[in-house]
Structure 1
Amino acid sequence: MTAAVFDHEGPWTEEEYLALGETQQRVELFDGSLHVTPAPTPRHQRLSRKLGNILEAAAETAGLELLEAVNVRLRPGRVPIPDLVITGPVDLDELMIEAADVRLICEIISPSNAATDKVLKMHYYAAAGIEWYLLIEQETGGLRLFRRRGRNYVEQSSVKRGETLTLTEPVQATIRPEDLVS
């Protein structure tokens, strides 16, 4: 992004946000404000790839799509970029995936923005009606699976090294923390 971006006055619209195009940073839109973070660390990306490899086969078997780092419109003006999403059939050439198409959303918790994933995004994803939310601890590979109840998430399962998370919805998969981090 260029310095001109920071000269912007007033709240950002979704159109202005999309006009930024692709950037080196992860730029998300939350209710008129941009949330900018640097590119993820190699550790984060390796974990994301390993988790994606596990979930991709499961998604394909279920007739679903696994997508990485895509714009998800939770509502107009609220567009995060989750680490991984499992969706129903979508137009792969569209700039955004609609929340209604998302079956499972995954965030890998980075130490620098843990509160965003554990509080802000969790609240926004539940309010948008996304049924399943998977949080992964970057350093340990610990997994916490949440299911939406009303406008909130309730923890369904929490696993650490030596344990296995078994997903039965929206895909069937088993995930072991030691398979994600070494």
Structure 2
Amino acid sequence: MTVAVFDHEGPWTEEEYLALGETSQRVELFDGSLHVTPAPTPRHQRISRKLGNILEAAAEAVGLELLEAVNVRLRPGRIPIPDLVLIRPVNLDDPYIEAADVRLVCEIISPGNAATDNVLEMHYYASAGIEWYLLVEQSTGGLRLYQRHGCHYVEHQAAGRGAVLELNAPVKAKVRPEDLVP
């Protein structure tokens, strides 16, 4: 992948991006530019697994599916890789999930990508019509659930240590920050 990335001239097309195939880094496409981040930390992955375990049973109960770190096509040329998504049933062999199939997107805020998750991707997800956005603070497990209003998100609920985030849509689940970060 390194040679293909560094020898590339001009904006990246969606086809060129998808031709990169699977990589050990998280490579996202934003309007012709690649955004590359290293593999997540063990803390990040633990939070993702714990939260995924909580949300998976709730998703299955209402006919949804939980997936981790998949390409989500927000529009042509804009493909981020969220930490977790709840989706309606789709063809699992497609190279990406269409935004219209995503019911909730979750990002775990890492110190190196806080601005991307809090501003850039949040705006992109809302503009693509994804109804629910869940942010998890990696250091504390603090949770913020947002609901889309027009082309932006409004905080719907938040929970810090000692509190419980109760999701009622798109799934019914209770998440305690202590269950994610001891």
| Normalised TM-score (structure 1) | 0.99
SS at 1:49 equivalent: helix
Aligned to 2:81: 81
Aligned to 1:128: 128
Structure 1: distance between partners of 2:157 and 2:121: 19
Aligned to 1:64: 64
Aligned to 2:96: 96
| Equivalence map 1:127-146=2 (5 Å) | 127-146=127-146
Aligned to 1:166: 166
Query: How far 1:4 sits from its partner (Å)?
Result: 3.4
Structure 2: distance between partners of 1:6 and 1:172: 45
Query: How far 1:7 sits from its partner (Å)?
Result: 1.6
Residues 10-37 of structure 1: per-residue CA shift (max 9 Å, x gap): 0000000000000010000000000000
After TM superposition, the runs of 4+ consecutive aligned structure 1 residues lying more than 4 A away are none
Structure 1: distance between partners of 2:2 and 2:81: 20
Structure 2: distance between partners of 1:105 and 1:4: 30
In structure 1, the gaps of 5 or more residues are none
Residues 46-69 of structure 1: per-residue CA shift (max 9 Å, x gap): 100000000000000011000000
Residues 113-162 of structure 1: per-residue CA shift (max 9 Å, x gap): 10000000000000000000000000100000000000000000111000
SS at 2:21 equivalent: coil
Aligned to 2:51: 51
Aligned to 1:151: 151
SS at 2:115 equivalent: helix
Instruction: Give the letter aligned to residue 53 of structure 2.
Output: N
Percent identity of equivalent pairs: 79
| Equivalence map 1:1-16=2 (5 Å) | 1-16=1-16
Query: How far 1:2 sits from its partner (Å)?
Result: 1.6
Structure 2: distance between partners of 1:64 and 1:113: 28
Structure 2: distance between partners of 1:164 and 1:2: 44
| Equivalence map 1:107-122=2 (5 Å) | 107-122=107-122
Structure 1: distance between partners of 2:111 and 2:38: 13
Structure 2: distance between partners of 1:150 and 1:129: 8
Instruction: Give the letter aligned to residue 79 of structure 1.
Output: I
The RMSD of aligned alpha carbons is: 0.6
SS at 2:9 equivalent: coil
